[in-house]
């Protein structure tokens, strides 16, 4: 596939020198660099390497959240949410 990339001048010169030293094309150096980047980012995208989600301490619940009847009554009450604050 053919595409156009806009590269920093210094980066392009570095890629061009690397390609000349290896005796390969600029395209092959860019392709190799992209493959290496994508392979390393695949590992970075795993759940174990993701940053932790934020947490908040909101204090103790004001109703028994494990009792469905009480929870439903609290949610359906006309006083909700003011009475739960």
pLDDT in tens, 39-78: 886 665 555 667 788 888 888 888 888 888 888 888 887 6
Q: DSSP string of 50-73? A: SPPPP-----S-SS-TT-HHHHHH
Tokens 């590269």 sit on residue: 7
pTM above 0.85, yes or no: no
Q: H or E element: which one contains 32? A: helix 26-44
Whether residue 26 contacts residue 16, with contact meaning beta carbons closer than 8 Å, is answered with: yes
What pLDDT shows up at residue 13? 96
């Amino acid at each position: 596939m053919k595409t156009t990339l806009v590269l920093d001048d210094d980066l392009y010169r570095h890629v061009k020198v690397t390609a000349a030293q290896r005796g390969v094309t600029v395209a092959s150096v860019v392709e190799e660099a992209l493959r290496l980047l994508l392979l390393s980012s695949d590992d970075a995208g795993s759940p174990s390497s993701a940053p932790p989600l934020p947490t908040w301490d909101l204090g103790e619940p004001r109703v028994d959240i494990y009792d469905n009847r009480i929870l439903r009554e609290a949610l359906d009450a006309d006083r909700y949410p003011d009475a739960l604050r």
